[in-house]
Amino acid sequence: MLDRIEKYLFITLLFSIPFQIRKIVFYEGWQFNEWLSFSIYFTDVVFFCLFAIWMYYLLKRKALINRDLYEVIIFIFFGVAGASLLFAKDMSIGLFGVLRMMEFFIFFIYAKEYAIKKFSFYDGLMAIILGGVFQSIVAIVQFIRQTDLGLRFLGEGMLGIYIKGVAVFVNENGERVMRAYGTTPHPNVLAGYLFVAIFALYFAWLYRKQLNASVNYLYCILYAILLLGLFLTFSRTIIFLWFVGLMTRGLIIGLWPKYRSKFWYSAQMRNKLISILIVTCIVVSLFTIFLWPDVISRIKMSSGDEAVQLRIYYAKESLSRGFNWFGAGAGNFIVWLKDKQPNLPEYLYQPVHNIYLLIYSELGIIGLICFLLLIFYSIYDFYVSNRFTDLYHYSFFLVFLSILAMGLFDHFLWTLQQGRFVLWLSIALIAAKDINFE
């Protein structure tokens, strides 16, 4: 009975990652700022229940968590985060930041050492896929209506083309266009989750041994919905990474003899690849034709665009402190920026849009080295463990690199609940061994 409850909780967690269901328990000052607040999320509660069950099983079996270099790096990383509080201007924000960091360090260990090995890998994939499909349907309706759907119980915010702070752009016809949010706090966050859901679908579609025609048609429909949802976020970086990832896999299958023979000499595998290609072409073509003024306005990008200018500005500010060992303190970049630039409009107080610069700004060079050491060791260990003996190893690796690339252009992987789950789950997948693919 407890095993069944645990399984459903884990599936619920993966499905619910994009939900913004939360209780804000603290924020500083009279005006709310996301980065100077602390919230308890629905996904926190679900993970706490999973963690409690995990601890129960460990105690019952008198088992210990495997200690390896990952845990050593995590321990040092956490120690650096704690030491950074000595330099924090706002101790409460810093303490909340360290606690949140500890939660996701624990989640990483839980996923790597326990969840990925215990639960069916394909059940996890389907939870993410269905979560993405649900979010895509919400996104499609949001885009058609150009407003929110009133799904406050799922954490959907108030959206509209004239609401301050909502991600809106002006298309080639001079019309204001709202990007799709789903139930996430920003279109880029939704795009990040849908990116993972799409590649989860590719994996389930291509590597599941037997799929009858009806299931193949179902996957075609789900793929079309996911792809349209991704496009309606108009997230340029993540859509570009999806395209590069798709083309890279296509080149590997088409040019690498070992994989070309495996995929093209099998009639069922060939039909799957052709299905993916056809659905992709149809969705891309229809999206481009019907939303051409929107598409062309988002494709055009110059160094003078506000999005580019803000990223450059935050990067320069983060580097203006010069070399530092421990940074401004966990979660204190905004506090530091407010102290340095007190006259900016409130909406401009945002984290630097690069997780590596953000980690350096808040945790210093030692914190950044710890994070990069974790990443590089994960890659090294992944290669040593499997030597890329099958195409799905390349798929894992390319998705992981794509998520790391997202971190070069946005901060949500480090600062927002949804992004943290995506980042640490991806690292756990690379770090885990003996994954149950059944």
User: What sign does the dihedral 180-184-188-189 (CA atoms) show?
Assistant: negative
Residue 210 has pLDDT above 70, yes or no: no
Q: Which residue has the higher pLDDT, 138 or 395?
A: 138
Residue entry with tokens 């999806």 = 242
Judged on CB neighbours under 10 Å (0-12, 13-18, 19+), 174 is exposed
* Residue percentage of the chain with pLDDT more than 90: 62
Stretch among 179-188, 228-237, 303-312 having the lowest mean pLDDT? 303-312
Q: Is 33 left (phi over 0), alpha (psi -120 to 50) or beta?
A: beta
Cα–Cα distance, 262 to 410 (Å, whole number) = 38
CA distance 404 to 395: 14
CB 264 within 8 A of CB 250: no
pLDDT at 271: 82
pLDDT of residue 23: 92
CA angle 345, 351, 354 (to 5 degrees): 135
Kindly give the pairing relationship between strand 37-41 and strand 168-170. unpaired
pLDDT band at 434 (very low <50, low <70, confident <90, very high): low
Mean pLDDT of the chain: 89
Residue 75 has pLDDT above 60, yes or no: yes
84 has a pLDDT exceeding 80 = yes
Phi-psi region of 146 (alpha: psi -120 to 50; beta: other; left: phi over 0): left
CB-count burial class (<10 Å; 0-12, 13-18, 19+) for 380: exposed
Q: How confident is the model at residue 238 (pLDDT cuts 50, 70, 90)?
A: very high
Name residue 41's beta-bridge partners: 22
| Predicted pLDDT of residue 67 | 74
Per residue in 253-286, pLDDT tens?
Answer: 666 666 666 665 567 777 888 899 999 999 999 9
Q: Residue 366 in contact with residue 324, Cβ under 8 Å?
A: no
pLDDT at 227 over 80: yes
Contact 197, 129 (CB under 8 A): yes
Q: How far apart are CA 180 and CA 385, in angstroms?
A: 40
Contacts of 279 (CB under 8 A, 6+ apart): 220, 223, 224, 227
Q: Where are the chain's structural domains?
A: 2-144+179-431
Q: How high is the pLDDT of residue 407?
A: 95
Give the residue from 312, 410, 407 showing the smallest Cα distance to 353.
410
Please state, in angstroms and rounded to a whole number, the distance separating the CA atoms of residues 432 and 293: 45
Which two tokens mark 120? 């069916």
Q: Are 195 and 182 in contact (CB under 8 A)?
A: no
The CA-CA-CA angle for residues 370, 374, 378, to 5°, reads 165
Angle (deg, nearest 10), helices 355-386 and 306-319:
90
User: Mutual orientation of helices 391-406 and 187-207 as an angle, nearest 10°?
Assistant: 180
User: Phi and psi (nearest 5°) for 41?
Assistant: -100, 160
- pTM (two decimals): 0.94
* The pLDDT value given to residue 263: 62
Q: Quick check: 168 pLDDT over 70?
A: yes
